[in-house]
Amino acid sequence: MSPLEESRQFQKVNRIKAWCRICFALGFLLINYPILQIFNQSVSLCGFPLMFIYLMGIWLVGIVVLFILTRFLLKSADTS
């Protein structure tokens, strides 16, 4: 592998790692007080409280996004 290809590969891996950090920070912010207070209502959808649906939605989206990012990370690690 040429130095230029190694440099591009290194940049790609660093970009994916940066996205993982951004997703972690965003997830952390979404489950903190000001945002949670918005969803702390006595409203229920399909019998579930709005807060429960919000937290489970954030959890599910976080898992899916990080799964996709780690797949890209593993795929780029296999090519090197």
Per-residue pLDDT of 28-54, as tens digits, reads 999 999 999 999 999 999 999 999 999
H or E, element range at 66: helix 50-79
pTM for this entry: 0.83
Average pLDDT of 55-63? 96
Phi-psi group of 27: left, alpha or beta (phi > 0 → left; psi -120 to 50 → alpha; rest → beta): alpha
- pLDDT of res. 10: 87
- pLDDT of res. 80: 59
Average pLDDT of 45-71? 95
What percentage of the chain exceeds 70 in pLDDT?
Answer: 98
pLDDT at 68 over 70: yes
